[in-house]
Structure 1
Amino acid sequence: MRLELLLHFEEPFLIPYNYPRSLYSFLIHGIELGEEGISKRIHTNKKDVKFVASRLLPLGKVKKTEKGLLVEQGRVRLFVGSSAWPVLEALVNGLGSGLGELHIGERRLLEAEIKTAKTPKRLSGQRFRTLSPVSVYHNNPPNGFRSWDLSPVGQPNSPFEDESVVWKELVFRNLREKYLMVHGEPHEGDFGIEVFPRNVRSKMFRIKGVNVRAWEFEFRMWGDEEFLRVAWDMGLGMRNTHGFGMIEVM
């Protein structure tokens, strides 16, 4: 399930270019106001059902600044999805009770309008777009293990012979783990994904002092609808609670 949030913040409101940490803090605090126990589970238990968030999408006139996008009227759109209704319910309740207390940067939330977003009847074969990081640790002698941000189409300086294949394997593994969390049993079916290389772009973010490269791309995926629904509800790839991996129908 997915919610569409229309949020009004104090003006002037800035969407920072490096938004992941502030977005996560806003959402986890909102969930905490609605149900503290759910917030703690999300924050501390990596093997528990979580949520996926989109980027903050500005509404109205926008001006680019050195630090971010200045939204003149302070209004933004945000999508949040989860396979667990209690997570979304806690967020809805928290937004309702947290007006004036919840904030991004130094700007308080003044108003929140919440709607249920439409879910496609069929996902397999559809064309999508997302912004998603996928990272892996690999051996890098003599420096030991280091993190590498994988590209869905590969990179010239990659330590992997076929980086796009490794990327696909990790995306599939990540979705199987989410499926197990949601349904309580392993997924045994197939999964296919095709990335359109012409539209792939990379963006760098800093999260908890670590540089993270995410890739924005268009793609199609195939498989069992129940399995693909997990990608729709929970996100593709990693760091979904920080605003990555929400898939959008083209």
Structure 2
Amino acid sequence: MRLELLLHFEEPFLVPYNYPRPLYSFLIHAIKLGDPMIAKRVHGNKKDIKFVASKLFPVGSAEKTDKGLLVKSGRVKLFVGSPAWPVLEAIANGLAFGIGQVHILQKRLLDVEVKQVETPKRLSGRKLGTLSPVSVYHNSPPNGFRQWDLSPVGQPNSPFENEPAVWKELVSRNLREKYLMVHGEPFEGDFEIEVFPENARSKMFRIKRDNRTGRYTQVRAWEFHFRLRGDEELLRVAWDMGLGMRNSHGFGMIGVV
């Protein structure tokens, strides 16, 4: 399930290049206003069903600045998805209750329009694209690296002999874990992802700050076009919960190209 949100903020509104942290705070605040118990589950339980968010898309003209896209109209579009309707309902209700209270970078929300997006009947074999970059990381890479953000097309300084193969394996494993979470039973079928390297590009993001050191966690995530092949029930989990990791921070939402 997916919602399309047309958000009107105090103008001019800046869509930050480093959007994940303010976007996550904005959505969690909305969920708290809509349903505090769901907010507690989403924020505090790693094994509970969560949501996936897209990037913020400017509506109308936008000007590039050092810190982000300046949207003169103050209007942006955002997509949020989840297999659990109460999570999406909490977001929608919280935004409605929070007009004038919830904000991004001190710009208050003035109005919101909510539309439900129809799930495609078929995803397998269709050309898809990322509505927010895909984040995949390995906690114990070889050669002494601490944590490694994997690329679907490989990187020159990679500690892995075949980084794209490791990336695909972790995407598959993560998606199967989400399927188990949603359906309560393991997925036993096949899954394949084909990434088109000519469209792939990466960007660094900051997602959270260490209270002790004051340093930010840096994340490299990737945007690309691709095809998925497999059982439609599994692919709908990818549609509802996203590909890869850190989905509720605005990573891994997919859409039809």
Separation of aligned partners in 1, 2:164 and 2:142? 19
Give 1:12-161 correspondences, 5 Å limit: 12-130=12-130, 131-140=133-142, 144=144, 146-161=146-161
- Please, which runs of 5 or more residues in structure 2 have no aligned partner? 209-215
Separation of aligned partners in 2, 1:148 and 1:156? 13
Percent of matched pairs sharing the same residue: 71
Q: Which amino acid is the alignment partner of residue 56 of structure 1?
A: L
Give 1:132-211 correspondences, 5 Å limit: 132-140=134-142, 144=144, 146-208=146-208, 209-211=216-218
| Structure 1 segments (4+ residues) deviating >6 Å | none
SS in 2 for 1:132: coil
SS in 1 for 2:138: strand
Separation of aligned partners in 2, 1:245 and 1:195? 14
Separation of aligned partners in 1, 2:253 and 2:170? 17
Q: Is 2:250 the partner of 1:243?
A: yes
Give 1:58 shift.
Answer: 0.3
Q: Which amino acid is the alignment partner of residue 35 of structure 1?
A: D
Equivalent residue number for residue 229 of structure 1? 236
Give 1:207 shift.
Answer: 1.2
SS in 2 for 1:60: coil
Q: Which amino acid is the alignment partner of residue 138 of structure 1?
A: S
TM-score by length of 1: 0.97
Distance 1:139 1:119, change over 3 A: closer
Separation of aligned partners in 1, 2:148 and 2:97? 41
Aligned length: 248
SS in 1 for 2:111: strand
Q: Which amino acid is the alignment partner of residue 123 of structure 2?
A: L
Q: Which amino acid is the alignment partner of residue 201 of structure 1?
A: R
Give 1:37 shift.
Answer: 0.5
Separation of aligned partners in 1, 2:129 and 2:89? 27
Give 1:118 shift.
Answer: 2.1
Equivalent residue number for residue 11 of structure 2? 11
